[in-house]
A and B are shown apart, each in its own frame.
Chain A
């Protein structure tokens, strides 16, 4: 059963905070849930399906209890920062199967207030099969993405200047977002002059560490049509894990090579149909590699594709992350997937900032890479259409 046309995104909310010193993670989840339901014109009592991931304190059970929900469908799928993109797809599946009609997805966190960053070694539980063979070597978010960058440069001649253009585009968009954590426009030279964190990634190749969160409400077609909001229809989705293939790993591509084509096939669309794309930007390399893997350009040509402002709204061919993305706006709980969907919804509704709104934006894509690019990650692709 395909999910094409079986569900709509009726509510979307991004928490405005970027530093939440006086609020718990659970409280942030609740505020996001309230915001998204109000955006949709629904209430907590209407929710009959609930979705959350690893950022949700206590997991699905604690959150459902905390939020006072009365639901008949639960999903705690966790594939890192791309979880929420997969949740939209899972919610559409559940709605299509008659398991729920109003699905609430929440995420929130406060890594900034808690002093966490992508430089710290990962915290992992006992009995995880891979960690004895990885943790001693100090994998962090930054050096994992850096290793994939280094190999990409080696095989395809990708340069630091090309990667910097991803950040330049993000900063051009973020200047128009009053909630963005970083709003100064930067140049390629600024990125290259920023301190090296893990070769070859500079500080400005890395996303922000921010508090915050977001929520989405996915509903059945009947309910969507009864509400007052613009209709944003789910057209197709794909998800794929990528690991190390038991020692045969290839770090030049991501799981998007599988999740992308699956989503396009289900939607009956191609990359040429996409007017706006939210592309996960934990690091500049993440964007460059995913654009190749999703088919926006050939493998190895991502460097050329992202250069010279091609990702800037109103300037280039493929406007991405018009909220400023994880690089400038927000990477709540170090998991940016939900914000990716939220900005895609804004674009499709025509509710993005006027200076970055894509004209006649009828088809959009949101894609995420959750986890470590060199060790294990989960890719999720979602294609949406304004009806």
Chain B
């Protein structure tokens, strides 16, 4: 028995002014993360001021787009979907969905790569958001 991934209408994220570059890169298939040039720490989700040292000396970096599943849960009521936290190779853990796979085979420690999906629907298309899909091993 398998639980096949189904397309789900994802809530449209509000685009805040300081995240314009993030969403533009997402539309082109690139995941951006913020890096602080004052303390050297990366952070997620992106802020104007570094949450580790309060510096405004933060810049966008391209993430490799690969990581491992830190934890997950498959929703069994309604359209099934897999919410997860993925730990990026850069060390940051982010909330996401695991997509384009048999949801019953998802496991902690599984290697995944970013796969952008468009939020909203045909009538109200929204930004592409970073989901992840298992890397064929």
Residues of chain A at the chain B interface (Cβ within 8 Å): 119, 121, 126-127, 129-140, 142-144, 146-151, 154, 195-201, 244, 246-249, 251, 374-375
Contact = CB atoms under 8 A, between A and B. Distances in A.
Contact of A199 (B70, B73, B85): B73
A88 B74 CA distance: 37
B112 interface: no
A129 B16 contact: yes
Given A129-B16, A137-B95, A150-B108, A198 B11 contact: no
Contact of A249 (B83, B84, B85): B85
A105 B18 CA distance: 40
A119 B97 CA distance: 17
Nearest to B88: A247
Most buried by B among A126, A132, A375: A132
A384 B15 CA distance: 46
Given A246-B45, A247-B91, 14 more contacts: A129-B47, A131-B14, A133-B13, A136-B129, A138-B10, A143-B73, A198-B74, A198-B76, A244-B93, A247-B33, A247-B42, A248-B92, A248-B93, A374-B71
Contacts of B45: 129-130, 132-133, 246-247
Interface in B32-73: 33, 42-45, 47, 51-52, 70-73
Contacts of B71: 147-148, 150-151, 154, 251, 374
Q: Identify the interface centre among A134, A142, A201: most chain B CB within 10 Å of its CB.
A: A134
B10 A132 contact: no
Contacts of B43: 246-247
Interface in B74-120: 74-78, 81, 83-85, 91-97, 108, 119
Contact of B129 (A119, A137, A143, A248): A137
Nearest to B96: A137
Given A138-B81, A154-B71, A375 B95 contact: yes
Contacts of B15: 132
B42 A137 contact: no
A132 B45 CA distance: 9
Contacts of B19: 132
Interface of B: 8, 10-16, 19, 33, 42-45, 47, 51-52, 70-78, 81, 83-85, 91-97, 108, 119, 126, 129, 131
Contacts of A244: 93, 95
Given A147-B83, A246-B43, A247-B94, A132 B16 contact: yes
A228 B47 CA distance: 55
Contacts of B8: 138
Contacts of A200: 73
Nearest to B74: A199
Give the 5 A-B residue pairs with the shortest CB-CB distance, closest first: A247-B92, A132-B13, A146-B73, A247-B44, A133-B45
Given A138-B8, A143-B75, A247-B42, A131 B13 contact: yes
A129 B112 CA distance: 26
Q: Which of A121, A131, A136: most chain B CB closer than 10 A?
A: A136
A207 B133 CA distance: 32
Contacts of A148: 71
A138 B13 contact: no
Given A137-B83, A199-B73, A246 B44 contact: yes
B12 A136 contact: yes
Contacts of A129: 16, 45, 47
A138 B75 contact: yes
A137 B10 contact: yes
B97 A151 contact: no
Contacts of A121: 11
A136 B10 contact: yes
Contact of A127 (B13, B14, B93): B14
B114 to A, nearest CB: 13
A248 to B, nearest CB: 7
Nearest to B128: A136
Contacts of B83: 137-139, 143-144, 147
A104 to B, nearest CB: 37
Contacts of B129: 136-137
17 contacts: A121-B11, A126-B14, A127-B14, A130-B45, A132-B14, A132-B45, A136-B12, A143-B83, A147-B73, A198-B76, A244-B93, A246-B45, A247-B42, A247-B43, A247-B45, A247-B92, A374-B85
Contact of A247 (B10, B16, B93, B119): B93
Contacts of A375: 95
A192 to B, nearest CB: 14
